[in-house]
Amino acid sequence: MDSVIRGFAIYFVLLIAIRFSGRRTIAQMTAFDFVLLLIIAETTQQAMLGDDFSIANAAILILTLFGIDIALSYVKKWLPTLAVMVDGTPTVLVREGEVDTSALRWARLDEEDLLAAGRRQGLTSLDQIRFAILEASGGISIIPKK
């Protein structure tokens, strides 16, 4: 029972912390963002297992975490508002070539991040971008001008 409670607690602590830290964190845009996620994974592992390193405990925790995730996916289907709150929504950062500086600032991004995303699509400057969307996953989608 302890393991299930620990699993629940850590799942929701992580969900809240990561959701409120913003999508920039989950996008792993820099090496440090990636390192941060690794450290968090290591830290939470200790908190979930406690002193019990048995296979049974690990199996219970894995099932608990998958169970919460599956249950939450159904709840999000039934309550679309909750889905928006938990998963977030896409945000348009560039619309028809116009950069939304306010959205960039609030999302803790800058034009350099847009250019980096553009370069992955073979674009070399901002004025080649028609749309840029910050996806719920934290990635930036670029739609080039024709």
Partner 1 sequence: MTNDRESLQLKEHRAFQAKFWRLERVAWIFFALILVAVGLGLSGSGGPLSRSTLVADRSVADVPRFSRWEAPDEIRITLAPSSDQNLTLAAAFFSKFQIETMQPPPARTDPGQSSTVYHFGSSATKPLLVSINLRPLHPGQVAYPLGLNGKSVSAETFVWP
User: Beta-carbon neighbour count of residue 72 at 10 Å?
Assistant: 17
Stretch that binds partner 1, among 20-28, 33-41, 63-71, 111-119 (CB under 8 A): 20-28
Least separation in angstroms between CB 85 and partner 1: 8
**Distance from C-alpha of 10 to C-alpha of 58, rounded to nearest angstrom:** 14
> Does the protein bind partner 1 through residue 51 (CB under 8 A)?
yes
Least separation in angstroms between CB 88 and partner 1: 7
Query: Do residues 92 and 103 lie in contact, with contact meaning Cβ atoms separated by under 8 Å?
Result: yes
Stretch that binds partner 1, among 14-22, 27-35, 70-78, 119-127 (CB under 8 A): 14-22
> Does the protein bind partner 1 through residue 139 (CB under 8 A)?
no
Check residue 30 and report its DSSP letter.
Answer: S
User: Beta-carbon neighbour count of residue 77 at 10 Å?
Assistant: 10
31 CB contacts (<8 Å, ≥6 apart)? none
Name the 3-class secondary structure at 3: helix
Query: Which residue, 67 or 88, is less far from partner 1 as judged by CB?
Result: 88
Taking residues 73 to 92 in sequence order and writing x for each that binds partner 1 by CB under 8 A, - otherwise, the string is -----------xx--xxxxx
Query: Do residues 22 and 108 lie in contact, with contact meaning Cβ atoms separated by under 8 Å?
Result: yes
> Does the protein bind partner 1 through residue 67 (CB under 8 A)?
no
Residue with tokens 């297992």: 49
Size of the site for partner 1 (CB under 8 A): 22
Positions touching partner 1 (CB under 8 A) are 9, 16-17, 20-22, 50-51, 84-85, 88-92, 95-96, 106-107, 131, 133, 143
